[in-house]
Amino acid sequence: MRASPLIHTPQRGFTLLELLVVLLIIALLAGYVGPKMFDRLEMAKVQTAKGQMKSLGDALNQYRLDNGHYPAETLGLGALTERPASEPNWHGPYLPKAAPPDPWNKPYEYKNPGTPPNEIDLISLGRDGKAGGEGTNADIVFGL
C-alpha cells in the first residue's frame, strides 16, 4: 500500500470582525423594522375589536327583535347566551358561547342607555385599558 501524500488546502471562512459587522447590520434592520411591525400588529387588534363589536351588535339586534328592547345594563352581554328570567320571548342563545374579550384580553363594556343618539354602546378601552387615549390606546366605541 502506498501512503497518499497529505495535501494541505487553506481553509476559508469568515473572520470574527466580518461576523460582527453582519450581526450589527441585522440588529440595525431589526431596530428599524421591528417597531413598524408591532405598530401594524396593534392596528390589526383595533380592526379585530371593531369586527367583534359588529358581531356583538348583530347579536344584540337579534335580541332586540325578539324581546322588543336591548338587554338591561345589569344583564350585560350575558343575556345573549343565557336566558334572563324576565324575558319570556327570548329565543337565544344569540351567541354560540360567552362574549369574547377584546383583543387586549379585557371585557367589552356594555352601556344601556348609550351616549345619544345611540341606544346602547359597546366599548373597548384599547391597549392601555384606560378611558381616553390616542392611537391604539384610544377607546373604541360601537353604538346602536
Q: Please state which of the four CATH numbers 3.90.180.10, 3.30.700.10, 3.40.50.150, 2.120.10.30 is assigned to the domain occupying 44-143.
A: 3.30.700.10
Domain spans in the chain, listed from the N-terminal domain onward: 44-143
Mean pLDDT across the stretch 87-114?
Answer: 91
Q: Residue 141: pLDDT band by 50, 70, 90 thresholds?
A: very high
Is the pLDDT at 7 greater than 80, yes or no?
Answer: no
Radius of gyration of the chain, Cα coordinates, nearest whole angstrom = 29
Average of per-residue pLDDT values in the chain: 87
Cell representation of residue 17: 470582525
CB 110 within 8 A of CB 122: yes
pLDDT higher than 80, residue 13 = no
pLDDT in tens, 41-57: 888 899 999 999 999 99
Question: What is the DSSP track for 114-127?
Answer: -STT-S-EEEE-TT
In this prediction, residue 43 carries a pLDDT of 86
Look at the block and give the residue holding cell 401594524.
40
CB atoms within 10 A of CB 126: 25
Q: Cell numbers of 79, please?
A: 343575556
Under 8 Å CB-to-CB from 59, ≥6 apart: which residues?
A: 80, 94, 95
With cut-offs at 50, 70 and 90, classify the pLDDT of residue 64: very high
The confidence band for 2, taking pLDDT boundaries of 50, 70 and 90, is low
Q: Taking residues 69-76, what's their average pLDDT?
A: 92
How far apart CA 114 and CA 57 sit, in angstroms, is 13
Please tell me which residue, 41 or 94, carries the higher pLDDT value: 94
Question: Is 44 exposed, middle or buried, given 0-12, 13-18 or 19+ CB atoms closer than 10 A?
Answer: exposed
Cell of residue 128, nine digits:
392601555
